[in-house]
Amino acid sequence: MNGLNSTFSILDDIQRHAAGVFDSLAEQMLGKPHTLRDGTEHDAVELPRDLAAHDNVQTEWWYYTGHGKTDSGREFGFEWVFFKRRTDLDRFAVVPLRLIGNPFYFAHFAISDIRESRFTYSHRKSANGPLDAPASASKARYYLNIGDWTARESHGLHMLRASLDTSTTFEVALKPTKPVVLNGFDGVSFKDEGEASRYFAYTRMDADGHLVIDGKPEHFTGSAWMDREFGTWAPTENQKGWDWFSIQLDNNCELMCYQLRDSQGNVSSYSSGTYVDEVGNATRLSSDDFSIRPVGVWKSPVSGAEYPSVWKIEVPKFGLDLRVVPVIEDQELDTRGTTMIVYWEGACQVSGFSNGNNISGKAYVELVGYDRSHESPNLAYFLLGNPNEILGKLGFKQ
């Protein structure tokens, strides 16, 4: 036993020495890493400034989900999300990630084709390296791009573009129809004691665009939701996973709610939400104001992760008793080659009651933390991508 302990001690010493070598190399090449904490972590949201990107935050994202219907009757859901991550404090084992890139840009795009019961997605990353697609997030105005995937604001419209392959493209103009909603306290959303993001949303946006599938363009209209979140908060034991819901009801009200979970699946008291009435008045919801109860389970045939599937959501103070059902069971994304996680994000249908009256609507649900592969990240996977995806692109059967 003493010999084994000595071996582990030697290995620890080697790892510490290697980490020190890489840290010294990073400092010589790039300077000292920034703490990314400058005292503004809990400042209120400032618009329109905070729609654009920031220098002094570690993580920020622009997240769109929505539901469309083409002129021919094809119904679908979409997810379009862009991440910017400063890597000053990140590392893969002994290697500081900033040696590879700082910042990194990531994007996910997915289509849930309800008629075909088909879920397809793609994801990208870039650090503007020699082999990367050019990427940017403007600090002066709202403009994002990673290759030809773009998001921008023009005359009050949010304009998105993405593609899945050479025969599938998506372009849409989104018009907010309600005032922006500041989640939490003036847009400061606490995830644990002292740890907060800035978080605001456009909870209802009219959508008008074109979807090209198999080379055939179709005009569509629909409704979308946009979440904007940014900050430098530290992950804690109370933030090992979450279940997040954005619900648009047919009475022109909206509900956002989420449950944060620890490693044992216990729900954190920092779980929160927002209810928006017909004219746009927003009410913050504490974890005691709503309940989320899963009533089914779906197991991924790919990752093996078990996700809750079908939920009962109640908000007694607003008379809501809702049932949320996925339009397709399998809406799982494996993004280990970009943001390094496997998660479920999908379009859903809503039914139930509002103050005793029948109500229906649409939703998007995000489930994170049911697959734990991100706790043991693979540098080769991150740099080179999913080997199955690479083989598929080369024409090999998986």
pLDDT at 13 over 60: no
Q: Percent of the chain having pLDDT more than 70? A: 87
User: Higher confidence at residue 232 or residue 244?
Assistant: 244
Pick the closest to residue 61 from 104, 100, 98 (CA basis). Answer: 104
- pLDDT value at position 15? 54
Mean pLDDT of the chain: 89
Ranges assigned E (strand) in 232-317: 241-249, 254-261, 272-276, 282-285, 291-294, 297-299, 306-308, 311-315
pLDDT at 250 over 90: yes
- pLDDT value at position 398? 44
pLDDT at 388 over 70: no
Average pLDDT over residues 35-39: 79
Q: CA-CA distances (angstroms) from residue 258 to 70, 239, 274, 291, 344?
A: 31, 12, 10, 10, 14
CATH superfamily of 33-393: AttH-like domain (2.40.370.10)
At a CB cut-off of 8 Å and minimum separation 6, what does 100 contact? 87, 127, 129, 383
- pLDDT value at position 385? 66
> What are the residue ranges spanned by the domains of the chain?
1-32, 33-393
- pLDDT value at position 162? 98
In the numeric block, which tokens belong to residue 217? 């363009």
- pLDDT value at position 396? 47
pLDDT at 19 over 90: no
Tens digits of per-residue pLDDT, 183-234? 999 999 999 999 999 999 999 999 999 999 888 999 999 999 999 999 998 8
- pLDDT value at position 4? 44
- pLDDT value at position 8? 38
For 201-217, letters b (16+ CB in 10 Å) and e give bbbbbebebebebeeee
User: Higher confidence at residue 126 or residue 99?
Assistant: 126
Tens digits of per-residue pLDDT, 269-320? 999 999 999 999 999 999 999 999 999 999 999 999 999 999 999 999 999 9
pLDDT at 84 over 70: yes
Q: CB-side exposure of 324: number of CA atoms within 13 Å?
A: 29
Average pLDDT over residues 311-330: 98
